[in-house]
Structures are given as structure tokens and as C-alpha cells.
Structure 1
Amino acid sequence: MTPTYISRRIVVERLSLLNHLIGEIERLPLHDEDAFFADSRNVHTAESCLRRALEALFDIGRHILGKGYGVPAGSYRDIATRLAEKEVLDRGEEKLFAQMACYRNRMVLVYHEVSSAELFRVCVEDLGDLASIRSAFQRWIRDNPHRIDNPLTDANRRD
């Protein structure tokens, strides 16, 4: 892979989606476990929004690696490792993102093992982890504007 420019459009769209999904989770009755479980739609909303939020973060990470550095990432955990190697994430963020990769894989591959109680706990206790990685990506993008395309001058370029 040859490094090119990171698509501002892709990053903005994924960050916007991520913010929307975090907001959807925050609107659930996470302050009251009984209220949360009183409506089964809350569990389904939490699961869907959490899974999609994780995918949005990994899409951004994969895009930064592929376009910005020409580095492929074989697995979700590899994305975290490669981002740290390229100093997009620090070692603490790498560890957190790798844990998030493992959780994403559980949600997708062994979804039947993820309980409703676990989803509730993750939404209550770990939702801030999504924001931490989002902030790390935003920091890196702010510090590396030369790696981002300029839609005014690169308007005819394809992503």
C-alpha cells in the first residue's frame, strides 16, 4: 500500500456517527437498572449502538493506517498495535483500544455469550472509553494536518 491522504470526509462522517451513537446510549436509562431492563428495546439499542460505535472507531483507525501510512492491519487488535507504532495512540490508548477490539470481537463472533447485564455494565462503566479513543484520534488529526486531504484542492480525487 502506498500512503496518500486521509479523507477528511470519511473521518468527519465516522466521528459524527460515533457522537450520535454515544448520544443514543447516553439517552438510555443508565441511572436506573430496573428502568433499563423494563423495556427490552433498551438492551437492543445499547448493543447496536455500542457495536456500531466500536466499528466507527476501528474504521477511523484502519483509514489512518491505510491512507496515512500505507500500513494494512490484519485484525482489529492489529489496528491498535499499528496505531501505537505510528504514534497515533500512546501505549495506554493502545492497550485500551486492544481491549475494545477484543470486546468488539466478542459482540460480533460470540454475541450469544454477551449478556444483557454485561451490556448494561459496559454502558454505565466503560462508555467513556469510546470518547477517550475519539479524543486521541482528534488530537492526532489536529497535530497532523499535512496528512489530511483538502477537499477544496483535491475535489476530483477518489477515496
Structure 2
Amino acid sequence: MVDKDIIQRKLSFIDLKLQNLETLKLIEREDFLASFQAVDAAKYNLQVCIEALIDVSNHVVARERWGIPSTSAEAVKLIIQHGVLGKDKELSLVQMVKFRNRIVHLYQEVDNSEIYRILQENLDDIKGFIQAVISKFF
């Protein structure tokens, strides 16, 4: 059984970082791309949001005894396979995990325009993850 306190703390952290990202989302594209502070803040907040999402996934998989994922993407796939999230979310969540890996390990290859696009188009995927976990376990 999942530890609801751990899950709640992680989800609250994600929600707080999403609020930061929503603020950054309001910046016009040209101004965003011209500001290393905005770009760096967005990268950091995206990175830790996704990291916390991975932590929640790993916690759920371990506590529910759904297997031992060999990668973070596999942990996300396992919670989808067990109905925490819909199958339609798999591609976007796996892409998030891969993006997090690029920020951490291939940081020099991350295009700032991609960061801006993610802010504009993909924050709802993270919100959907939060809602799905809450619906399933609370």
C-alpha cells in the first residue's frame, strides 16, 4: 500500500513548481528566450517536477509490488499498465522522462525554444498526472 504522506508531499511539491512554471509561461516568447534567468528557472522547475513525478511513480510501483523498473520510463509505464493513468498518457509521460534526462545529462543540447514550447503546451500533462494519482490513491 502506498504511503499517502509521501505521495502528498511529492504532489504538493510538483504543484508548487507548476505554479512557478505557469508564471514563466506568461512571458512573451522573445522576452523569455532573451532572459537566461527565465530559461534557467523554467529548466530547473521542469527538471524537479519531472523528477518528483518519477519519484511518485517509483514509490507506487514499489509499494504496490508491480515489478522492479529498470528505468524511470519503465516506472511510468508500469503505473499506466496498472490503470493509474490512461494509456493515452504514456507517450507524453515517457517523453517527459526522456526530456528530464536530456536536461540532466545532455544539457548543452537542450534548445531554449523547446523549453518555451513545453511551457506553452505540456504543463497540463503534469497536472493530469497529479489528478490521476489523487483519484487512484486518495
Q: Same fold by TM (over 0.5)?
A: yes
Tell me, yes or no, if structure 1 residue 112 matches structure 2 residue 113: no
Task: Tell me the secondary structure at the aligned position of residue 88 of structure 1.
Answer: coil
Equivalent in the alignment of 1:36: 32
Of 84, 87, 102, which aligns to 1:88?
84
Gaps of 5+ in 2: none
Query: 2:24 aligns to what SS in structure 1?
Result: coil
Q: 1:69 aligns with which of 65, 70, 88?
A: 65
Q: Is the 8 A contact 2:80 2:87 kept in 1?
A: yes
Amino acid of the structure 1 residue aligned with 2:74: D
Following TM superposition, the consecutive aligned residue runs of length 4 or more in structure 1 with deviations greater than 6 angstroms are: none
Q: Which amino acid aligns with 2:97?
A: A
Give 2:28's aligned amino acid. Answer: D
> Bigger CA drift: 127-136 or 17-26?
127-136
What's the offset of the Cα at 1:70? 5.2
Deviating more after overlay: 34-43 vs 46-55: 34-43
1:27 pairs, out of 12, 23, 29, with 23
Deviations 1:90-121 (A, max 9, x none): 21122322222222222222111101111111
Indicate the structure (1 or 2) with the bigger Cα radius of gyration. Answer: 1
**2:118 maps to amino acid:** V
Shift of 1:30: 3.0
Alignment of 1:1-159 (within 5 A): 5-28=1-24, 30-69=26-65, 71-142=67-138
Q: Distance in 1 between matches of 2:80 and 2:22?
A: 29
* Aligned partners of 2:103 and 2:110 also within 8 Å: yes
Task: Identify, as 1 or 2, the structure richer in helix.
Answer: 2
> Which stretch of the first structure deviates more once superposed, 125-134 or 11-20?
125-134
d(CA) in 2 for partners of 1:38 and 1:110? 21
Instruction: Tell me the SS of whatever aligns to 1:73.
Output: coil
Gap runs ≥5 in structure 1: 143-159
